[in-house]
Structure 1
Amino acid sequence: MNRHVPVANSVPPGPDELFGDLFVAVQQRRLFGDGKTFPDMEPRRAPADIMAAWDAQRPQGDDELRAFVERNFDPPPPPRLDPPDDQASIGDHIAALWDDLVVTAQPGGPWSSALPLPSPYVIPGGRFREIYYWDSYFTMLGLAIDGRDALVESMLDNFVSLIERYGHIPNGTRSYFLSRSQPPFLALMTQLSRDPAPDVHRRRLAALRREHDYWMQGENHLAAPGASAHVVRLSDDAVLNRYWDASDTPRPEAYAEDVAVAAGADRPTADVYRDLRAAAESGWDFSSRWLRDAASLATIDTCAIVPVDLNCLLYLSERHIAEESAALGDATTAADYRRRADQRAAAILHYCWIAEERRFGDWHWIERRPTAGATAAGLYPLFAGIATPEQAADVARTAERDLLAPGGLRTTTVETAQQWDAPNGWAPLQWIAVAGLRRYGHDALADMIADRWLSTVEAFYDQTGALFEKYDIEHGRPASGGEYPNQQGFGWTNGVVKALLAERDKQRR
């Protein structure tokens, strides 16, 4: 399993830093159809030598620029597609597909944007050639069902390695993702492990505590109300978290898109860029959930919002750290994190429960109000076990009325050009909702969501022989919207389908 391959410990510069105005020229001219292509290309020689040639030659026009890039960079590997199989059942197809999505070799050379990892891992597929943080939890659900325990363990090793090197798990394993993380699912991932070794538990616990420090950086010196990095201290001194990014420049993988959005905004471009990046950290990139005006991405306001899902995940992490610390005999740490979890749960119930609308939602901490509209994120307090039984019953009624679609659970009720809005449905949100509703005994609604989602995915599989990143659950057609086309593969769809099929089989026994 190559678990002891050395990995780099320094924080590498991103391709936008290494290649300056060459990078800007390539991305602004949209030389490649996908803005992720150039940042993922492999330099053939030292960046200083490439930039010296750039300064000397200054290619004119797209053809000359393309020729210069082709002389100095190797293209990234082709997308990992889901190979069609007309004969296999969807479950057997997914079981066979894992090996097509496994990466075992060390990525890239010394100037690559790829971050090296010590162990094999599963990628989402399509244009996503590297491991992604929150995707991987849902992928690992399926790996565990299929008995791929060695891959579950090696992916956990990789995430621990990233925390040990960089202090957090980046959005994905590229240098240009290091300024942010993604929804913190590591604690839940560790619960899929079957490795009982005490030294493994200690190492993972240390990583979880260090990750928690990353999310809470600045907490002790923050006045109320105010925010610092990911931490928000509210007017009653309660502490919750927000999504945030350490950089306030255009995302390298979507450079031209971000510049265009900022040009249409009526506020400083640095603020727009940070809000775009923070939404990318949320995984919901992009959604009306973060917008003041659902029709305009330029009104994005992510850093002003306390998201209910993020805080539920941090609650689960704090609870898990407390439990693991107690099991290892560290009563002091256990008590500290138990207290943190209890305080966070109380704050979530205070700020994120909207009683008059019978739903959980996000809190706009600057304007001191809940954000509008039911979203699938409102099921996270059920998934985390924070909701009261009465609140869970209200959420179930609201979800059935507002979020249940013909093909699964709606992401939001707002139809926009953004991919994390109606009419698109996403595998991870189906799992969170189904698991949360079952936790409170709302099995009938959980079954409806699961059955409708599985019917959607199976219908597309019958038509195409493949699985996809997202689905149009309103109209039964391929999903659209966002910055890139719908992708085949696809890690978290595969994992959630496997987990839901296993659950359905268990019920029928």
Structure 2
Amino acid sequence: MPKPRKTEATPAELYGPLLACVQERGILADGKTFVDAVPLRPIADIMADFERLSPGDEALRRFVDANFRLPARFDPPDPAAPTQSLRAHIRAMWSNLARDPQSGAINSSALPVGHRHVVPGGRFREIYYWDSFFTMLGLVRDGEIALATGIVDALTDLIEDHGHVPNGTRTYYLGRSQPPLFHMMVALLDDARPDVAARRLAAMKREHAWWMEGAEDLAPGMRAHRVARLADGSLLNRYWDPRGTPRDESWREDVETATGSGRPAGDVYRDLRAGAESGWDFSSRWLEGTSLSSIRTTAIAPIDLNAFLFGLETAIAACGDSDATLYAEGAERRREAVTRHLWNEEERYFGDYDLELDQLRPSITAAALAPLLAGLATGEQADATARATRKHLLAPGGLRTTLVDSGQQWDSPNGWAPLQWIAVAGLRRYGHPELAQEIARRWVATVEATYLRTGLLYEKYDVESPAIGRGGEYAPQIGFGWTNGVTADLIDAVEDAKRL
């Protein structure tokens, strides 16, 4: 087990003006490069020398090279015709994406990880929270139980150390989490050993408490942290981050977004951070207009977040300990709140709730399927959701993310592996196997067609073409953990069904 770090300070806290200078001048192509670097000398000495540094980008670049060990550059292989089937390629990729336990060098941004685990790939060199569940689907399918268990053990450590699972295992991610799927990972492994089950149940309760912080004292119409009390007393959750500063890893982009927005910069930064916590970074779901500067994530109660928390509450209740009734009652109150405020009775699908305007947000998104996955929907709601999904979200290459083409990566024309699986699993749960099968078939065909052209798997795909996805703050990444896991699970599920 790696030793605890001596500091959990972020790069922005450690390097202040140096980080701002490096990021805003753009001397490194990817803003994540510098924040993942390791200092080669005491920070006080580095900062003292920085104050005397001659102006100019070249001098700054030489200074960074001399004082930091930058992460190894990742150059993706050139596309080439594959030499093995898609399913065989996925099996072979697990060893490439697996990482040994990490101690986390002092004053680097890396958090310690005490277990062997899997990373997404490309620029994503560390564990990411909700990615990990979808990656685990493939690991379990391929018998990589030790790797899957290592992920859950690592996430359990993180909850015990921080009260939540950070967005990723970096200090600059500690202010935010991601969609809370830890309980689904626990269920996927189904480890009944009493000591293991007790520890994971305790972690689930602690994570729930973190998401619900401030709820008990919240008056109607008020918001605090990640909770919002509506005028009728209903309680819903939102995404939020306590830091009103640019994201360390996307500093330049966030400064540019806030500049000229006409809004207090801190509000923009917090909404960007909350958008990153959602996993949908970024999407028209969070925008007031078409510009990213109109982002207002913290003013929205998302349907998928509240469905996942319903799932967490019901999972804790199902464990049957002395607190079971308390969590079961909380789940029922959440079901009532979601039904009252996040169900679009006129259009017949679930949506996000605008906490400031006190109304549902317009337009269906793939998040509407999350209540089916969690078992929150009624049978009638599930049937209506299936009809709306077929009418609006079913694309030639899988499930659409949204109906809006904003240029953001979590919008049309992109489709994402986790959203395909959530939809397929939710539709199957409520007796719509034909639509589930159609989404799965189209998604696998998209991934396979691109794989046959390039020999690679990507983090996102254009489900209209189909082709490699586009948009966002960085080039499409290959690897790729959750695409591998979801695609493997869907391929195998189809084959399993054929054998029945």
Does TM, scored on the shorter chain, surpass 0.5? yes
Equivalent in 30, 49, 55 of residue 60 of structure 1: 55
**1:129: how far off?**
0.3
Q: Which amino acid aligns with 2:467?
A: R
More off after superposition, 443-452 vs 304-313: 443-452
Deviation at 1:88, TM superposition (A): 1.4
Q: Does 1:236 align with 2:232?
A: yes
After the TM superposition, which residues 297-308 of structure 1 pair with which residues of structure 2 at under 5 Å, given as runs?
Answer: 297-308=292-303
Residue of 64, 82, 106 corresponding to 1:86 = 82
One-letter amino acid of the structure 1 residue matched with residue 340 of structure 2: H
SS across alignment from 1:219: coil
* Counterpart position of 2:261: 265
* 8 Å CA contact retained: 1:239, 1:347: yes
Partner of 1:384: 374
Letter in 2 for 1:152: A
Q: Which residue of 2 aligns with 1:312?
A: 307
Paired with 1:318 and 1:461, the residues of 2 have a C-alpha distance of 39
TM-aligned CA deviation for residue 366 of structure 1:
1.4
How many aligned positions are there? 498
Aligned pair partner of 1:35 in 31, 35, 49 = 31
TM-score w.r.t. length of structure 2: 0.98
- 1:218 equivalent to 2:214? Answer yes
Matching of residue 322 in structure 1 with residue 317 in structure 2 = yes
Report deviation, 1:195. Answer: 2.8
**Do the aligned residues in 1 keep the contact of 2:247 with 2:273 (CA within 8 Å)?**
yes
Pairing of 1:22-421 with structure 2 (within 5 A): 22-55=18-51, 57-79=52-74, 86-293=82-289, 295-324=290-319, 326=320, 330-331=321-322, 333-421=323-411
Letter aligned with residue 88 of structure 1: Q
- How far apart are residue 209 of structure 1 and its match? 0.8
CA distance in 1, matches of 2:324, 2:419: 30
CA contact (8 A) 2:5 2:104 kept: no
Change (3 A) 1:123 1:82: farther
Partner SS state of residue 16, structure 2? helix
Aligned to 2:445: 455
Matches within 5 A, 1:488-507: 488-507=478-497
Task: Please say if residues 9 and 165 of structure 1, whose CA atoms lie closer than 8 Å, have aligned partners that are also in contact.
Answer: no
Cα deviation for residue 105 of structure 1 reads 4.1
Per-residue CA shift, 1:170-228, capped at 9, x if unaligned? 00000000001000000000011143210011111111111111101111111111110
User: For the structure 1 residues 194 and 323, does the alpha-carbon distance in structure 2 shift closer, same or farther, using more than 3 Å as the test?
Assistant: closer
How far is the alpha carbon of 1:81 from its aligned partner?
Answer: 5.1
Change (3 A) 1:82 1:149: farther
Contact 1:428–1:492 under 8 Å retained in 2: yes
Share of identical aligned residues, percent?
52
The one-character-per-residue Cα deviations of 1:339-360 (angstroms, maximum 9, x if unpaired) are: 1111111111111100111110
Cα distance in 1 for residues equivalent to 2:210 and 2:137: 26
- Distance in 1 (CA, whole Å) between partners of 2:133 and 2:195 is 22
Deviations 1:4-58 (A, max 9, x none): x144166510001101101100000011111111101111122112111112x22
In structure 2, the gaps of 5 or more residues are: none
User: Secondary structure, in 3 states, of the residue corresponding to 2:223?
Assistant: strand
Counterpart contact for 1:437–1:443, Cα < 8 Å:
yes
> 3-state SS of the aligned residue for 1:171?
coil
Selected match of 2:4 from 2, 8, 16? 8
* SS of structure 2 residue aligned to 1:191: helix
Q: Secondary structure at the match of 1:66?
A: helix
The answer as to whether partners of 2:5 and 2:112 remain within 8 angstroms in 1 is no
C-alpha spacing 1:7/1:81, structure 2 compared with 1 (3 Å): farther
- The answer to whether the 8 A contact 2:349-2:368 is kept is yes
Instruction: State whether residues 81 and 489 of structure 1, in contact with CA within 8 Å, keep that contact through their aligned partners in structure 2.
Output: no
Q: State the shift of 1:87 in Å.
A: 2.1
What CA distance in whole angstroms lies between the structure 2 residues aligned with 1:478 and 1:119? 33
Amino acid in the other structure paired with 2:68:
F
Task: Tell me, yes or no, if the aligned pair for 1:419 and 1:482 is still in contact at 8 Å.
Answer: yes
